[in-house]
């Protein structure tokens, strides 16, 4: 990796209006990743997709619960503040994606942005790597799905509308809290809750398939927010919703527990106890089939509250999808239909 001297300040970017509520960290370092492959292949039975694309590693959103923190340790960094202040960018992302699409082996499968760190984190305002990759998807007609908690996604609204007309595209907005105060403590660098709901509305009004993901559900802290989040999501035009139980792999446990004890000293023990109650007495289960959901009466009540609220609001109802032109390489007569 090559370190970048004086990395660009995203808060001075032309897109700064999209970075609601953000404050720069005390020190930010940017590194360039000279990777030769841009797509990650997922073989987990817990995931509903095969390919993911991450233009950045590390994330300025600084969410205390982020399950991706341990991946920073593979680079020789730490899972704590290093994850938030030492950001790795992949400047050749769009070029590498184009090379992948030109290979005869590529059949136009769905690509998820991002399976790891947020593809619309603040540095995207300057580097525009996510946008460049989506432009490649548009050119080839390759389907894409986006997961983000950033209002910056609305900067690319016209591009997403064009992609929607060309092929399949969807956006999932992560909203784990209804309380602005709690969100600002646990997700200090992310967009405010109100701006995320605004993003849902703007996307839905533009005809983009949009979902809200209550991820993570933190038992004892945010599970009571679920009905309010779902109600507001429906009002803003979301078509579906999902939820994922808090995951604490590796050193995320230490980061999360420290944040809970620092900012919620009176509730920290209850939160940790409730999490153990939904994890069979443990803080985390890494087995496939166990990572994303809990067990026991407390989790069953959370699940029931989510399901009944979705049913009452009309979320998660299947809707027929209009056919889209298939994936096609420029100059090629052969087409591939995404299934």
Which CATH number fits the domain that encloses residue 272? 3.80.30.30
Which pLDDT score, from 0 to 100, does residue 50 have?
87
Inside any domain, residue 334: no
Question: Is the pTM higher than 0.85?
Answer: yes
Q: Are the C-beta atoms of residues 60 and 122 closer than 8 Å to each other?
A: yes
What pLDDT sits at residue 334? Answer: 54
Share of the chain above pLDDT 70, in %: 90
Give the rounded distance of the alpha carbon of 122 from its chain centre.
Answer: 13
Please compute the mean of the pLDDT values over residues 239-249 and round it to a whole number: 94
Closest listed residue to residue 289, CA positions, set 245, 242, 240, 223: 245
Tally of CB atoms within 10 A around 78: 16
* Number of domains within the chain: 1
**26, pLDDT greater than 70:** no
Higher pLDDT, 333 or 201: 201
* Cα 300 to Cα 294: distance, rounded to the nearest angstrom: 8
Residue 332 lies inside a defined structural domain of this protein? no
Say if 284 falls within a structural domain: yes
Report the mean per-residue pLDDT for the chain: 90
CA-to-CA distance for 72 and 60, rounded, in angstroms?
A: 13
How far apart (Å, rounded) are the C-alpha atoms in residues 218 and 149?
17
- Per the domain annotation, does 233 fall within a domain? yes
Residue 335 lies in a domain: no
Contacts of 12 by beta carbon, 8 Å cutoff, 6+ apart: none
Residue 331 lies in a domain: no
CA distance 138 to 165: 9
SS3 124: helix
What's the rounded mean pLDDT across residues 69-94?
Answer: 94
- pLDDT interval class at 319 (50, 70, 90): low
Listed residue (261, 245, 235) closest to 213, CA to CA: 245
Note whether residue 93 is domain-resident: yes
Domain that holds residue 291: 2-315
As a whole number, mean pLDDT of residues 181-191 equals 95
> What local confidence, expressed as pLDDT, does residue 324 receive?
66
Mean pLDDT throughout 310-322?
Answer: 83
Residue 206 lies in a domain: yes
Measured N-to-C along each axis, helices 297-313 and 226-235 cross at an angle, to the nearest 10 degrees, of 20
- Mean of pLDDT values over 304-333: 80
Answer yes or no: is pLDDT of 331 > 70: no
For 31, the 3-state DSSP assignment is strand
Residue for token digits 């983000």?
148
pLDDT bin (cut points 50, 70, 90) of residue 338 is: very low
């Amino acid at each position: 990796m090559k370190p970048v001297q004086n990395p660009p300040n995203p808060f001075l970017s032309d897109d700064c209006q999209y970075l609601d509520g953000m404050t720069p960290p005390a020190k930010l370092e940017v590194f360039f990743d000279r990777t030769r492959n841009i797509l990650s292949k997922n073989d987990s039975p817990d995931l509903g997709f095969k390919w993911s694309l991450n233009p950045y590693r590390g994330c300025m959103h600084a969410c205390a619960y982020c399950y991706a923190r341990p991946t920073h340790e593979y680079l020789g960094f730490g899972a704590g503040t290093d994850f938030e202040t030492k950001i790795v960018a992949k400047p050749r992302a769009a070029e590498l994606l184009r090379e992948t699409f030109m290979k005869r082996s590529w059949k136009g499968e769905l690509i998820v942005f991002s399976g790891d760190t947020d593809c619309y984190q603040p540095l995207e305002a300057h580097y525009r790597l996510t946008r460049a990759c989506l432009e490649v998807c548009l050119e080839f007609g390759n389907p894409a799905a986006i997961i983000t908690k950033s209002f910056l996604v609305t900067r690319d609204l016209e591009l997403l509308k064009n992609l929607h007309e060309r092929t399949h595209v969807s956006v999932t907005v992560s909203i784990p809290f209804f309380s602005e105060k709690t969100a600002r403590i646990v997700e200090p660098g992310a967009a405010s809750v109100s701006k995320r709901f605004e993003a849902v509305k703007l996307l839905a009004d533009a005809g983009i398939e949009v979902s809200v993901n209550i991820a993570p559900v933190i038992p004892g802290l945010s599970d009571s927010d679920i009905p309010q989040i779902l109600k507001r999501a429906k009002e803003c035009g979301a078509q579906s919703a999902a939820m994922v139980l808090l995951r604490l792999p590796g050193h995320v446990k230490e980061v999360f527990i420290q944040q809970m004890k620092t900012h919620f000293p009176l509730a920290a023990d209850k939160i940790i106890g409730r999490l153990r109650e939904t994890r069979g007495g443990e803080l985390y289960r890494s087995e496939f089939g166990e990572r994303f959901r809990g067990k026991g009466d407390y989790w069953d009540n959370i699940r029931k509250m989510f399901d009944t609220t979705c049913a009452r609001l009309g979320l998660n109802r299947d809707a027929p999808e209009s056919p889209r032109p298939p994936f096609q390489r420029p100059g090629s007569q052969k087409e591939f239909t995404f299934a």
